A and B are shown apart, each in its own frame.
Chain A
Amino acid sequence: MGSKAARAKSKLPTKPSAAANIGSMITLRPAGERGHADHGWLNTFHTFSFADYYDPKHMGFRALRVLNDDRIAAGRGFGAHGHRDMEIITYVLEGSLAHKDSMGQQEVLEPNMVQAMSAGTGVIHSEFNGSPKEPVHLIQIWIEPAEMDVAPAYQQFGYDPSEKKGRLRLIAGPDKKTSDPAAFIHQDARMYASVLAAGESLTQPIAKGRHAWVHCATGNITLNGHALKEGDGAALSDEAALEIAGAGASGGEFLVFDLA
């Protein structure tokens, strides 16, 4: 925990991310330590406790409650089920996802599109792979709302993939008016997506008292000197900034959460 030698070592870009806790400010969540269930039709990794995976040490981070990395087989999916008081954001990496809900929405979601659902007083929805042939790879995020019993709402928008290249592209947040279209959520939390090519980097300040979660969705990145590969996550508290660079042969795609 935080010796100078350990810190110096941890800044080597080749450092494996298997060590769970380096320093007091960045806590790594290695992909291989996540909860995992392979149901055949669904291969899912849970960064935080979810469904049959329960670990009291990993119940979420700040308002970020769930981060599931799901691969759903062609034509399969989650049948009708209910949600209440949760902001649910779905980020498709590959393939397509068909969504249907009790608010009357029937949509198909693809990469570079975002779906956000405020469950509020209660919704029932189903999510199925929209393709009869190809699997779908997606990340589903649950953020606890600051306010309960809000009216259920559904939002979906698309964006040009260039908007997340080399920069953080706002996906969801508490601001009703944003320069780029983004989903409104009932929480003081912002979710960004980004793609960095190998060697490309960005720096994002973290406001005092704020926290951040970084999830490497595909490929490889470095985060404040730590190497993250697909599925790895990291919690940051009391850090001044995120310094992220694309690593490996082709960089990586990642999500950043700015949390109260």
Chain B
Amino acid sequence: MTTPNLPPINVMVVFYSRYGETERLALAAGVGAVQARANIRLRRLKDLAGAEIIARDPRWAENLARMTPEYIAPREIDAEWADVILLASCPDSPGEAEQYLQALQAKPKEGRQIVSLADDPADRLASARAQGRNAVESARKLKT
């Protein structure tokens, strides 16, 4: 196998999802980043809502139970590691992603790109994959 000699790009995909829809978008963006030969980490933002509120919505509670072992929350070392952060916000609750974006902006890292994923209703997964790929390719251009 010949490995292309490309500068390594580290991508953290950060999302907030209640029912799995934004998770799908984030995974598609992650696949796009992998397609562009990036190293990736997938992180889910913690719910701002308390356990009692979540428990009242069985679909939310069920998806949360499924996603909890799959994804840890973004850590400071992940944000340090990343050349690119792809951020996917949940339309039902944009607060989690907004809060995280503010925290990132308060602690900037030189050369790091933060891309808020656009949810394109025409073909959301293909568009997310393309956004993931494009973000890696532009980060790579900056490195070369």
Contact = CB atoms under 8 A, between A and B. Distances in A.
B111 to A, nearest CB: 22
Contacts, number: 53
Of B1, B40, B71, chain A has the most CB atoms within 10 Å of the CB of: B1
A127 to B, nearest CB: 10
Interface stretch (A71-79, A161-169, A246-254): A71-79
B121 interface: no
A146 B2 CA distance: 9
Chain B interface bracket (under 10, 10 to 19, 20 to 34, 35 or more) = 20 to 34
Nearest to A76: B69
Given A124-B42, A148-B2, A79 B69 contact: yes
Contacts of B37: 84
Contacts of B41: 81
Nearest to B37: A84
Contacts of B28: 102
Interface in A143-178: 144-146, 148
A123 interface: yes
A102 B40 CA distance: 14
B34 A79 contact: no
Of A76, A82, A84, A123, chain B has the most CB atoms within 10 Å of the CB of: A82
Interface of B: 1-3, 27-28, 30-35, 37, 39-42, 69-72
Given A124-B30, A128-B69, 10 more contacts: A79-B71, A81-B41, A82-B34, A84-B37, A102-B30, A121-B35, A123-B34, A124-B31, A124-B40, A126-B70
10 contacts: A75-B69, A80-B27, A80-B30, A82-B31, A82-B39, A84-B35, A102-B31, A121-B35, A124-B31, A148-B1
